[in-house]
């Protein structure tokens, strides 16, 4: 049985592109102070995904990468 999908931080955004990623297992941060603070605290680089909701290749990357729980970890 599949577990119900859980929303991540992007569920509160207004951008159609960001909202399409709200169920990804990736724990996304919208661009802002929280993302910058987390990066500094963990001494990790920021992975920035830029796209738009009608972009074919953005959907391909979401399906092949961002929906994969192993990659999300």
Q: What is the pLDDT of residues 3-58, one digit of tens each?
A: 557 899 999 999 999 999 999 999 999 999 999 999 999 999 999 999 999 999 99
Q: How confident is the model at residue 1 (pLDDT cuts 50, 70, 90)?
A: very low
* pLDDT score recorded for residue 4: 54
Q: What is the pLDDT of residues 62-73, one digit of tens each?
A: 999 999 999 888
Tell how far CA 48 is from the center of its chain: 9
Domains of the chain: 9-72 (3.40.30.10)
Specify whether the CB–CB gap between 17 and 59 falls below 8 A.
no
């Amino acid at each position: 049985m599949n577990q119900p999908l859980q929303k991540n931080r992007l569920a509160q955004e207004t951008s159609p592109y960001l909202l399409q990623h709200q169920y990804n297992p990736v724990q996304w941060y919208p661009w802002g102070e929280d993302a910058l603070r987390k990066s500094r605290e963990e001494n990790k680089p920021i992975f920035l995904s830029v796209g738009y909701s009608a972009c074919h290749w953005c959907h391909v990357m979401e399906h092949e990468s961002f929906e994969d729980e192993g990659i999300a970890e």
